[in-house]
Structure 1
Amino acid sequence: MDLSHRTVLIVGGTSGIGRELARRFAAAGSTVAVGGRNPQALAELAQEGFGTVSIDVTDNASVAAARDAVLDRYPELDTVVTMPGVMLLEDLRDPAHFEAAATTIDTNLLGTIRVVDAFTPHLLRRGAGTFITVTSGIAFLPFPPMPTYAASKAAVHAYSEALRAQLDGTGLGVIELVPPAVATAGQEKVNPHALPLDDFATEVMDLLSQDPTSREIVVKAALVHRWAERAGTYDDLVAQRSRALSMLPGRHS
Structure 2
Amino acid sequence: MTGNTILITGGTSGIGRALAEAFYDRGNRVIVTGRRQNLLDDIAANRPGIVGMTLDLDDPTSLARLSSAVLNQFPELNVVIANAGISRAEDMRSASWNPSDAEAIVTTNILGVIRVAAAFLPILKTRPNATFMATSSALAFLPRADFPTYCASKAFLHSWLTSVRHQLRKVPVEVLELSPPYVQTELTGSDQASDPRAMPLSTYIAELMGMLDRQDHSKSELLLEKDHARRWAERDGTYDAIFAAMNP
TM-score by length of 1: 0.90
User: Corresponding residue for 1:135?
Assistant: 136
**What amino acid is aligned across from residue 63 of structure 1 in structure 2?**
L
**What amino acid is aligned across from residue 214 of structure 2 in structure 1?**
Q
**What amino acid is aligned across from residue 217 of structure 1 in structure 2?**
L
User: Corresponding residue for 2:205?
Assistant: 201
SS of match in other structure, 2:56: coil
Residues 1:58 and 1:234: Cα distance change in structure 2 (over 3 Å): same
Structure 1 segments unaligned to the other structure (5+ residues):
244-253
**What amino acid is aligned across from residue 227 of structure 1 in structure 2?**
W
Alpha-carbon deviation of 1:96? 3.0
Counterpart mapping for 1:54-203 below 5 A: 54-94=54-94, 96-185=97-186, 186=190, 187-189=192-194, 191-203=195-207
User: Corresponding residue for 2:227?
Assistant: 222
Residues 1:139 and 1:212: Cα distance change in structure 2 (over 3 Å): closer
Cα RMSD between the aligned structures? 1.6
CA distance in 2, matches of 1:212, 1:221: 14
Alpha-carbon deviation of 1:77? 0.4
> Is the contact made by 1:53 and 1:69 (CA closer than 8 Å) also made in structure 2?
no
**What amino acid is aligned across from residue 167 of structure 2 in structure 1?**
Q
SS of match in other structure, 2:143: coil
> Is the contact made by 1:78 and 1:129 (CA closer than 8 Å) also made in structure 2?
yes
User: Corresponding residue for 1:250?
Assistant: none
SS of match in other structure, 2:247: helix
SS of match in other structure, 1:8: strand
> Is the contact made by 1:13 and 1:22 (CA closer than 8 Å) also made in structure 2?
yes
Identity %: 39
Alpha-carbon deviation of 1:128? 4.2
> Is the contact made by 1:127 and 1:170 (CA closer than 8 Å) also made in structure 2?
no
Runs of 4+ in structure 1 over 6 Å off: none
CA distance in 1, matches of 2:228, 2:197: 14
CA displacement 1:205-245 (0-9 Å, x = unmatched) = 111122475411111232232222233322122122223xx
> Is the contact made by 1:91 and 1:97 (CA closer than 8 Å) also made in structure 2?
no
CA distance in 1, matches of 2:41, 2:215: 35
Structure 2 segments unaligned to the other structure (5+ residues):
none
> Is the contact made by 1:178 and 1:222 (CA closer than 8 Å) also made in structure 2?
no
